[in-house]
Structure 1
Amino acid sequence: MLTTRFLDPIINALDCSPWACSSGRYARHRDRQPVYTPEQRRRRDLSPWTRVQGVLAIAQFAVFLVSLGLVLRFLSTGEGFVAATVSVCVKTFALYAIMVTGAIWEKEVFGRYLFARAFYWEDMFSMLVIALHTAYLGAVLGGIGGAHGQMLLALAAYAAYAINAAQFLLKMRAARREAPSSAASFGSAT
C-alpha cells in the first residue's frame, strides 16, 4: 500500500528511540502485549476507515508543513497573517476530521470510540492536541492575544501535534513488526 511505502523510510529515519520497546524494536518482549490481537488485526485490515486514516494522516501532515511555514514566516517578518491564520484553521479542521474518523476506526477495531488499551496514551495526548488547536480557534474568533500571541499558540499546538504524530508512527511501526507476515502489513487485507 502506498501509505506504508511512503511512511516506512520516514519511520526508519525517526527510529532512534533509546527505549527500544516504545519504538517497536522488541515488540515481542514477554511483558509487552501486542498492539492488535489476531481478530483486531483482521478487523483493522478489513476496515475502510484504515485507508481513510492513512490518507487523512498524510494530508494533514502536508497541511501542517505548509501552515508551519506560513506561521514561521509571519513570526519572522510580520507578513502574511491572514494566510497563516487560514492555514492554521484548515489544519485544525483536518485534525477534527482525523479525530472523528479515528474514533470510528477505533470503535470498529477495538470496540470503543477512544482510549482503547493499544492507543490509550496516543489518544490521551490527542486530547491535548485538540485542546490547543481549539484554543487557537477560540483566540482567533474572540480576538484574544493579538496576532503574535495567536501564532505562538498555533506553534504550541503544532509542537504537540508533532509529538502525537510521532507517537502514532511508533505505534504503527510496532504493529508492523508484530505482523505475522509482510502480507499482513498496515492497510492490506488478509
Structure 2
Amino acid sequence: MKTPNKTIVSLYTEEERRRRDTTSWTLVQGVLAPIQFLVFLISLALVVRYLTTGQGYFVATASIVVKTAVLYTIMITGSIWEKVVFGRYLFARAFFWEDVFSMLVLALHTAYLGALWTGFLDAWGQMILALAAYLAYVINATQFVLKLRAARLQEQANRDAAAATKTDMEFAR
C-alpha cells in the first residue's frame, strides 16, 4: 500500500524567512522576550509575596506596572516585526491564534492599570487581576515558544531532506 505524501505547511515562506533573518526587529524580539520573562518572574514573586504576607504592596504594584510597560513594548515591536516579515501588523497567517490570545493578555494587563488608577478594585483584587493577566501571559508565551520550536524543527527537517535529496542525486550519477 502506497502512503500519500504529506504536505507540511511551513511557518514561513522562503521570502518571509529571508525577511525574518535580515530584519533587526528579529533581534529586538529576541532580546525583549527573555527580559519580559525575567520581569514577569520577579513581579510574580512580589505579587505572591504580597498575597501571602500582606507586605510589599508598593513594590509589587511597581513591578506589575513595569511588566505591563515591557509587555506593551514587546507587543508594539512585535507588530512591527510582523509587518516587516508578513506584510501586516497583526494576525498574520503564521501567528494568528497567538495574536488573538495576545489581545486577551493586553486586555487583562490594561484592566489592571485601569483598576490601579481608578481604585475600582482594592489591593487584593488588583493582585488577583494581575495574576489572571500573568496566567494569560504564560499561556501566550507558551504558544509562541511551541510555534517557534516547531518552526525550527521543520527548518531542520527541510535541511535534512534537502541534504538527503542532494546525496541521492549525487549517488545516482
**TM-score interval (norm. to shorter):** 0.7 to 0.9
* Larger mean Cα displacement after TM superposition, 169-178 or 130-139: 169-178
Greater helix content: 2
Separation (CA, whole Å) in 1 of partners of 2:8 and 2:134: 30
Larger Rg: 2
> Structure 2 matches for 1:1-190, cutoff 5 A?
30=6, 32-179=8-155, 180-181=158-159
Structure 1 residues 31, 147: closer, same or farther in 2, change over 3 A? farther
Q: Structure 2: 5+ residue runs without aligned partners? A: 161-173
Q: Aligned equivalents of 2:19 and 2:69: distance in 1?
A: 27
- Post-superposition Cα deviations, 1:112-136, rounded to whole Å, max 9, x if no partner, equal 0000000000000000000000000
Work out which structure has the larger RCO, using CA pairs closer than 8 Å and 6 or more positions apart in sequence: 1
The CA distance in 2 between the partners of 1:46 and 1:169, in whole Å, is 21
Percent identity for Structure 1 against Structure 2: 64
| Runs of 4+ that moved beyond 6 A | none
For these two proteins, the number of residue pairs brought into alignment is: 154
CA distance in 2, matches of 1:101, 1:137: 21
TM-score of the pair, normalised by structure 1: 0.79
Alpha-carbon RMSD across the aligned residues, in angstroms, is 1.3
Separation of aligned partners in 2, 1:106 and 1:85:
31
Counterpart Cα distance in 1 of 2:51 and 2:31: 30
Deviation, structure 1 residue 181: 3.9
